[in-house]
Copies of this chain bind each other. A is one copy, B any other.
Amino acid sequence: MKFEIKNRDAAGRICKFTTEHGTVTTPNLMPVINPNKMIISPREMKNLFGTEIIITNSYIIKKNKKLREKALEIGVHKLIDFDGPIMTDSGTFQSYVYGDIKLDPIEIVKFQRDIGSDIGTILDIFGTPQQTKTKAKLGIKETVKRAQQSIHEKGDMILACTVQGSIYPDLRNKCAKELSKIDSDFFPIGGVVPLMENQRYSDLIACILASKKGLNPSKPVHLFGAGHPLIFPLAVALGCDFFDSSAYAKYAKGGRMIFPWGTEKLDDLDELPCCCPICTKITAPELKKLKEDEKILELAKHNLYVSFAELKKIRSAIAEGNLWELVERRASSNPYLFESMRELRKIDNKRWLEQSESISKNKALFYTGNHTIHRPIIYRYHKRLIERYERFFDISIVFPEGNKPYSNYYSEQIGEINRKRNDVEILINSHFGPVPTELDEMYPFSQSVFPKTLDKETEEEISKIFDNFTRDREIIFWEGNRTLQKLSEPQDKIKYDRDILRISAVANMQFGKDASKALFDGETKIIKSKKTGKIRNIYCDEKHTLSMRASDGMFTLKIDGAKFLHQHFKYPRLRVTIEKDAVSFIKQGKSVFSKFVLDCDPELRPFDECLIVDEKDELIAVGRCLLNRSEMLSFNYGMAVKTRDSIV
């Protein structure tokens, strides 16, 4: 198995997942194929929906003599006529639904191996939401035991070890950690179907997050039994890579149509509210009149068109960097989902999500409602403001939210203030909370769209943060001339340079506290764009140390800048440490692959600038991280750092 990150947003990722039957782009959906009765054949699914991977049930195959013998003879791929990767389920869900089904946990793994399944599943113990913690504990103990036993029988098959633990996050986390110790490559999160059926999305989120926190981040995670697109964006944002859908067929049989915003009964519809190839070629009355079998077929196709399109939408959102927007938009379709988003506000969850959050994104940040302010990137900003932002002055002059960038919008007023005295902090009481003008071009302040009027919940949230940031300080809300008159003459007559303040502030926020001391200690020269007047390049003692990106107002680190930071900051700050063997490749400008990473600063985030060092902490190169620390240390495939410049 190969599993490699290609792109990312939130804790979601676009990966390439490869078995010997081919490569799948994740997040992706495995339609469930019933070997006894296929509504649509896997081959047709590939043609119509671009289906790349399917799942079938080894228990159903094994139970039926004819199917069993045929599967053992020709293999599962030929049995169901699909040449791409095939996952098999073990019968766990059947034992949950039908009770004891007499199945040997090891036999069923061997059987999956013997019929040539790409991914076989252990016979885990389905933990129901209503079970006691004691029972759930016993369940995960048995599940882990079976996984440990099964691993020896997997052969070349990928063994899917399912995380259980009912609705107890600590058990989920424990189970995930135990399973991660096993040499397994695929982790479903199981026992969640009853949560989805009862729209207990807060519990679902808690289960996913607790499991993900315990799992090895380099392994694919499958939200077992999740087939409704309503939940896909959120589940992907939390780090799920695979879904499986029997819903497409089950719903079709019940005359129900799947939509990204929920489910509709065909009988309730006068028109088909969809643009898929089915809904554009037939009308609702025509569809209702079809013979039962044909109707089920058309509904199943519709359900799969919509489900696969939602995955395209999600992958697109990851690539564009607006997955959170999609998640929040979906949440407004369903009050239970809307409610569940509050689970993400818990500090532990914010902390965990922040680690995967990219430094900046391609697309502007869009406000969607009262969940927006709790996004990990805004949490990060507030945290860094307290931890990294250096304050020089005791007085803050505060402006209200305005057009962006703020320092342009308020340039006249700032000019007037500076002429009177320039040893004051100029702060925007913005929709993000307090933003010093020096930071106003950094992502996401300039690159965001908010309504003029905030909802009161967000307002309260940011005013708490504003109060916290400005307490014990002198605060002056800007009132034009009156404010200027109020301002006393400065005590010292030092001229503060707003450009220097800006590059210092950005450097500290981006590289960490005191980065400005490392970077701007010598004679600093700032080169601005003639066209836009914006800072473009920075030289220190005639060395080109940094350039500022127009797109997100952050620094690109030059090798000379890297040297200053390396000298100033102790190990492991800003470092990615690579193996001896990789040094010469990196020096040639090649990028850093995960498998060569020995260590990494835990504070580095995806798309952060970093120092590439060898085992002796000698600076080799400078680059841009694609992964965070835990990812770099766990992935065996793919790039960890894109090298920009190396020391020859």
Contact = CB atoms under 8 A, between A and B. Distances in A.
A366 B334 contact: yes
A560 interface: no
Contact of A270 (B305, B319, B338): B319
Contact of A273 (B309, B329, B455): B309
Interface string A398-442: 000000000000000000000000000000000000000000000
B342 A453 contact: yes
Nearest to A325: B333
A624 interface: no
Given A280-B276, A309-B274, A368 B332 contact: yes
Given A269-B316, A367-B338, A370-B369, A455 B452 contact: no
Contacts of A338: 367-369, 451
B457 A456 contact: yes
B272 A312 contact: yes
Contacts of A455: 369-370, 455-457
A335 B452 CA distance: 9
A290 interface: no
A275 B229 CA distance: 13
Contacts of A453: 339, 342
A527 interface: no
A332 B269 CA distance: 25
A580 to B, nearest CB: 37
A600 B428 CA distance: 56
A96 interface: no
Given A261-B329, A369-B370, A280 B335 contact: no
A342 B454 CA distance: 11
A279 interface: yes
Contacts of A457: 370, 455-457
A169 to B, nearest CB: 19
Contacts of A305: 275, 280
Contacts of A275: 274-277, 305-306, 308-309
A332 B339 contact: no
B334 A270 contact: no
Interface in A74-124: none
Given A319-B270, A457-B456, A335 B277 contact: no
A94 B241 CA distance: 51
A332 B335 contact: no
Given A329-B332, A333-B329, A452 B273 contact: no
Nearest to A274: B309
A496 interface: no
A329 to B, nearest CB: 5
Interface in A261-312: 261, 264, 268-277, 279-280, 305-306, 308-309, 312
A273 B233 CA distance: 13
Interface in A499-551: none
A456 B275 CA distance: 37
A479 interface: no
Contacts of A335: 366-368, 449-451
Contacts of A49: 280
A461 to B, nearest CB: 9
A601 interface: no
A394 interface: no
6 contacts: A49-B280, A268-B362, A271-B312, A273-B309, A369-B370, A456-B460
> What are the nearest 7 A-B pairs in CB distance?
A339-B451, A275-B309, A273-B313, A456-B457, A273-B316, A275-B276, A332-B368
